[in-house]
Amino acid sequence: MGEIATFYSFKGGTGRSMALANTAILLARQGKRVLMIDWDLEAPGLDAYFVNCHPNISKAQGLIEFLEFSNKNLDKMTYGNEIQEQLNEVFHKIKERYALQLALPPFPEVNGLFLMKSGDTGGESYQRKIHKFNWKSFFNKIPAFFTFLAEYLAREYDYVLIDSRTGHTDMSSICTALMPEKLVLVFTPNEQSLQGVLTIAKNATAYRIKTDDLRPLIVYPLPSRVDLAEEELKKEWESKYTVAFEKLFQEIYGLNANISLVEYFNHVQIRYASRMAYGEYLATMEFSSGPNSLSENYEKFAAQFVRDNAIWDYKPNESPYEMTFIYDEKAKNALDELLLHLRPLQRSDILRWDDENRIPFEKWDTILKKRLADKKDNQLVLVLIDKHIQDNKYYDLEVLSSIITKKNGNSIIQPIWINGQLQEETLQLFNGKLILPNRRIPLQDLQDKDNAWINVVSELKKQINKPKRTS
């Protein structure tokens, strides 16, 4: 299956269409089948970059004519009762009638680049078409039309790149929330442009969560028209938008506070070039690729765009929490499950442990007291409470209470209730403290155990992300 990506900017003049066109060329030069769709019906122009790449490009029909055809030839289809055969019959018209196969003169071997214009913009009828088309009525007629369209296009092409309408409109919502699985946010270093794309990213990801669309929505910020001559301003704005997108990703993806986009933005930016202000030039066709050239800028972005792994890195944690696990041998399986869910935090250097940190309950007294005494800061002690550990003769509440009340530095002692009943003494010991997953039902009695472990880890992340006490 291919990928659907939307290039969006809150305001015009960011170089969004230019970025899309250059990215498409780079992907096509790699042998990919790439379809560009000009969805900016009010201010189209993607075809202007390719006037010499197809003999009939000026008179070709496109998106608005395809939508008119679909509206005319499809019956009403309520959600969940779509007729796949009818939809596919209409969708096939894109390849037959509306997608132009482009020739790239500098690269005659490339035959996989296609363009679907906004429509036949040559006459007055185009304006009438786009103003007459009733988006709300069409959406009500076939609510899942654009979802099925995205699925069809992903089967036919390796990449579908959509040039979206600017601002906050129904059309831009289709492009940013319904269609794509990748969202490229093109912005220039100013508050209006930056805040606009941050808002659309929040709205699009929030909408996606509410739907039954299981595809992830991956955001790729793309700073554009960055003036390298203004070094101090460049540093100031680079820091500003780096922090802004780190906070955005923490919010929309539930990441912790130590992610970093510094390395990404060190590689990804489209510099300002005065020559590119004149005409519709494409750096990936017109200019040689040299250090920090426009062509190289687009190549670096394209390299990030096709990656499967996340664009953020994790900042090295200055002082990761060292783990200690206290458990009864009969709860070893539960401990193994817990460790499995904690691995991502270990790989991110947020938590640290080895086999010596797993303490059978018979040895917890001396080992734990020594560990907390020797290491003054950032200790996370997890006590796995089950029936057997509460019946264990080594379950010395007085000693454990002493350790809890006299813990050093930023040490955290956290009980996790695995099974059995919580004894009154245990409840008194952890009075006023959080018991995971809750004080009503042990983890092993919950129906969705995997989700229960996820919630446990989420609560642990909240605790270790709290501001640390200073001496």
Say which range, 72-86, 105-119, 321-335, has the weakest mean pLDDT. 321-335
Question: Do 111 and 195 fall within a single domain?
Answer: yes
Winning range, highest mean pLDDT, from 66-70, 288-292, 336-340: 66-70
| Order of strands, sheet of 159-163, starting from the edge strand that comes earlier in the sequence | 100-101, 113-116, 34-38, 159-163, 3-8, 182-187, 218-226, 270-271
Find the mean pLDDT for residues 115-133: 91
Position 471 scores a pLDDT of: 42
Position 429 scores a pLDDT of: 77
Give me the phi and psi of 34, to 5 degrees please. Answer: -125, 125
Residue 255's domain spans which residues? Answer: 3-314
Say which range, 9-18, 221-230, 377-386, has the weakest mean pLDDT. 377-386
Residue 469 lies in a domain: no
CA distance 270 to 294: 7
pLDDT band at 315 (very low <50, low <70, confident <90, very high): low
CATH number, residue 241: 3.40.50.300
Give me the phi and psi of 349, to 5 degrees please. Answer: 60, 30
Looking at the chain, the whole-number percentage of residues with pLDDT higher than 90 is: 49
CA distance 9 to 179: 16
Q: Which residue has the tokens 């309520």?
A: 78
Find the mean pLDDT for residues 164-187: 86
Residue 15 and residue 270 in contact, taking contact as beta carbons nearer than 8 Å = yes
Residue 1: name the closest of 212, 129, 159 by CA: 159
Question: Do 339 and 213 fall within a single domain?
Answer: no
Find the mean pLDDT for residues 226-237: 92
Question: Do 235 and 357 fall within a single domain?
Answer: no
Residue 134 lies in a domain: yes
Evaluate if residue 256 carries a pLDDT over 60.
Answer: yes
Question: Do 221 and 328 fall within a single domain?
Answer: no
Q: Tell which of 314, 331, 351 closes a domain.
A: 314
Position 440 scores a pLDDT of: 85
CA distances from 42 to 129, 173, 405 (A): 11, 15, 66
Find the mean pLDDT for residues 93-109: 94
Say which range, 73-82, 449-458, 460-469, has the weakest mean pLDDT. 460-469
Evaluate if residue 264 carries a pLDDT over 80.
Answer: yes
Residue 359 lies in a domain: yes
Question: Do 105 and 174 fall within a single domain?
Answer: yes
Residue 156 lies in a domain: yes
The sign of the dihedral angle between the CA atoms of 147, 152, 158, 160 is negative
Upper half-sphere CA count for residue 316 (Cβ side, 13 Å): 1
Question: Do 79 and 223 fall within a single domain?
Answer: yes
Residue 163: name the closest of 61, 75, 256, 35 by CA: 35
Both tokens of 262, joined, read: 């510094």
Position 78 scores a pLDDT of: 92
Question: Do 301 and 339 fall within a single domain?
Answer: no
pLDDT, tens digit (0-9, with 9 covering 90-100), for 398-431: 566 666 555 555 678 888 999 999 888 888 777 7
Residue 141 lies in a domain: yes
**How many separate helices (H) and strands (E) can be counted in the chain?**
18, 15
Q: Over the chain, what is the mean pLDDT? A: 86
Question: Do 345 and 282 fall within a single domain?
Answer: no
Say which range, 13-22, 140-149, 332-341, 392-401, has the weakest mean pLDDT. 392-401
CA distance 43 to 52: 21
- SS3 state of residue 382: strand
Q: What is the pTM of this model?
A: 0.68
Q: Tell which of 314, 344, 368 closes a domain.
A: 314
Winning range, highest mean pLDDT, from 103-107, 386-390, 464-468: 103-107
Evaluate if residue 447 carries a pLDDT over 90.
Answer: no
Q: Tell which of 295, 314, 333 closes a domain.
A: 314
Question: Do 93 and 163 fall within a single domain?
Answer: yes
Number of domains, the chain: 2
Position 155 scores a pLDDT of: 95
Residue 400 lies in a domain: yes
Residue 470 lies in a domain: no
Question: Do 303 and 410 fall within a single domain?
Answer: no
pLDDT band at 349 (very low <50, low <70, confident <90, very high): low
CA distance 172 to 196: 12
Find the mean pLDDT for residues 139-154: 94
Question: Do 215 and 81 fall within a single domain?
Answer: yes
CATH number, residue 369: 3.40.50.10140
Position 347 scores a pLDDT of: 66
Question: Do 365 and 258 fall within a single domain?
Answer: no
Residue 62 lies in a domain: yes
Find the mean pLDDT for residues 375-387: 79
